[in-house]
Chain A
Amino acid sequence: GAGVSQSPSNKVTEKGKDVELRCDPISGHTALYWYRQSLGQGLEFLIYFQGNSAPDKSGLPSDRFSAERTGGSVSTLTIQRTQQEDSAVYLCASSFRTGESPLHFGNGTRLTVT
């Protein structure tokens, strides 16, 4: 399809394990975002990539969270030593450019840390 693709759709992991979440943005979209949606905190910005510029990591909640974007396309969000409070839906979004271009979201990865 032509939309933002995220995998896996669901992930259950044990506390303390590392997880990787993947995002395939819409082809041609230069901006890529990760957001987190949880019951207690609502929707929160995590990190932003724009082209080859250094990512804006200002929303990452701790140094256990990191993300990379290879070749200006696919992005991976990694959470190390997962904690129960990391349980949430992780949403990836992309846009053609910054500013007022609407974000196109994927269906998210539901992460459950037991």
Chain B
Amino acid sequence: AQKITQTQPGMFVQEKEAVTLDCTYDTSDQSYGLFWYKQPSSGEMIFLIYQGSYDEQNATEGRYSLNFQKARKSANLVISASQLGDSAMYFCAMREGRIQGAQKLVFGQGTRLTINP
């Protein structure tokens, strides 16, 4: 069975600092995808970044990067130069199976990030 573990229920960071949100996963499948979503207080889930299990390079999207360590089964999200608007819940999620498959995502419990001015 799939499992996503986010060990940091809450994090507090000073504005403009970089922050790393931890995510480890467990799967026996060779083909899978890893996602990070942001959920502000408004409730909407916002897609941030995606990493495929066969991607050799770490994914990057603007200030977001994914530190993918396949052997350690970790997919940490790195936010550079944090901003006040980054305060939100962050969820790591995994899709198991072929890339063309449905996104029946398994989510971690989330990390609540608070950026202090």
Within 8 A of A (CB), among B46-97: 46-47, 50, 52, 91, 93
Within 8 A of B (CB), among A58-114: 58-59, 89, 91, 93, 95, 98-108
Provide the B17-39 mask, 1 if CB < 8 A to any CB of A, else 0: 00000000000000001010100
Q: What residues on B are CB-neighbors of A33 within 8 Å? A: 102-104
Count how many pairs of residues, one from A and one from B, have CB atoms less than 8 Å apart in the complex. Answer: 63
Provide the A27-64 mask, 1 if CB < 8 A to any CB of B, else 0: 00001010100000011110010100000101100000
Could you tell me the distance between the alpha carbons of A93 and B50 in the complex, rounded to whole angstroms?
Answer: 16
Choose from B35, B42, B100, B110 the contact partner of A98 (Cβ within 8 Å): B100
Interface contact A93-B100, CB-CB below 8 Å? no
Question: Number of B residues whose C-beta is below 8 Å from A?
Answer: 26
Choose from A42, A48, A102, A108 the contact partner of B47 (Cβ within 8 Å): A102
Interface contact B47-A98, CB-CB below 8 Å? no
Q: How close is B51's CB to chain A, nearest CB, in angstroms?
A: 9
Interface contact B103-A89, CB-CB below 8 Å? no
Could you tell me the distance between the alpha carbons of A50 and B104 in the complex, rounded to whole angstroms?
Answer: 12
- Determine whether B117 belongs to the interface, using a CB cutoff of 8 Å to chain A: no
Q: What bracket does the count of chain A residues touching chain B fall in?
A: 20 to 34
Interface contact B43-A31, CB-CB below 8 Å? no
Tell me whether A48 and B50 are in contact in the complex, defined as CB-CB below 8 angstroms, given that A91-B45, A103-B45 are known contacts: no
Interface contact B43-A89, CB-CB below 8 Å? yes
Tell me whether A31 and B102 are in contact in the complex, defined as CB-CB below 8 angstroms, given that A42-B107, A42-B110 are known contacts: yes
Could you tell me the distance between the alpha carbons of A31 and B103 in the complex, rounded to whole angstroms?
Answer: 9
Q: What residues on A are CB-neighbors of B104 within 8 Å? A: 33, 45, 48, 56, 58-59
Residues of B at the A interface (CB closer than 8 Å) are 33, 35, 37, 42-47, 50, 52, 91, 93, 98-110
Q: Which 4 A-B pairs have the closest CB atoms?
A: A102-B47, A105-B45, A43-B107, A99-B99
Given A99-B99, A105-B46; 13 other pairs, CB 8 A cutoff: A31-B103, A43-B91, A43-B105, A45-B104, A95-B103, A99-B100, A100-B50, A100-B52, A103-B45, A104-B47, A105-B45, A106-B44, A107-B43
